[in-house]
Structure 1
Amino acid sequence: MTLLREELGEVLREARTSQGRTLRQVSSAASISLGYLSEIERGEKEASSELLASVCGALGVPLSGVLAEVSGRLAVAESASAPVVLPVVTDRVSASAA
């Protein structure tokens, strides 16, 4: 199972490393501890929306773009696992007759 915090951490790390920036540089710009940012990037900590906004601001990337990337990755991971498809009942009369 893919966890949201793990995908989010990967997306943030990729954004940081693609800019050639260190954890120290981004943590300082975001006003959070280097250790905490590292834990977020490794998917070990759940970050608050305020903290995510601060990290995204420090990286110069929109939070919406980060979340869209995470959403896309989760969708791919979900489609790769064989989900159980449950029947959808569209008519209550049919459901009670069954």
Structure 2
Amino acid sequence: MILLRHELGEVLRERRQEQGRTLRDVAAAGAVSLGYLSEVERGVKEASSELLGAICEALDIPMSVVLDETAQRVARVESITAPVSLPVGDRASVVSASAA
């Protein structure tokens, strides 16, 4: 199962690391607890919209960009884990055969 908080946390961590910033720096800039920010990045805690906004502001990244990147990651995981459809013939005959 895909957990949105895991994908969101990965996006936030990647963006922070791309900027060469520490957890401590971003937590201070966003007035967010260092421990809580760490848990959000690791996908342990869900970020409220207010908290996510503060983190995005501290990273100087629009929330829409973070959410878009998260959506793209979720879509990628879904495409990898989607069940494969196999042709099984006429669905009505399959249902009829199993009911008999």
Q: TM-score, normalised by structure 2?
A: 0.81
Q: Please list every run of at least 4 consecutive aligned residues from structure 1 whose deviation after the TM superposition is greater than 3 angstroms.
A: none
Which structure would you say has the larger Rg?
2
What residue number does 2:48 align with?
48
Between the aligned partners of 1:82 and 1:5, the Cα distance in structure 2 is 20
What residue number does 1:20 align with?
20
Displacement after TM superposition at 1:82 (Å) = 2.6
Displacement after TM superposition at 1:83 (Å) = 3.3
What residue number does 2:59 align with?
59
Between the aligned partners of 1:81 and 1:50, the Cα distance in structure 2 is 31
Task: Say yes or no: does 1:76 pair with 2:76.
Answer: yes
Structure 1: which 5+ runs fail to align? 86-98
Q: TM-score, normalised by structure 1?
A: 0.83
Say what the alpha-carbon RMSD is for the aligned residues.
1.2
What is the aligned residue count?
85
Structure 2: which 5+ runs fail to align? 86-100
Displacement after TM superposition at 1:2 (Å) = 2.0
Per-residue CA distance 1:28-54 (angstroms, 9 max, x = gap):
000011000000000000010010000
Per-residue CA distance 1:52-72 (angstroms, 9 max, x = gap):
000000000010000000000
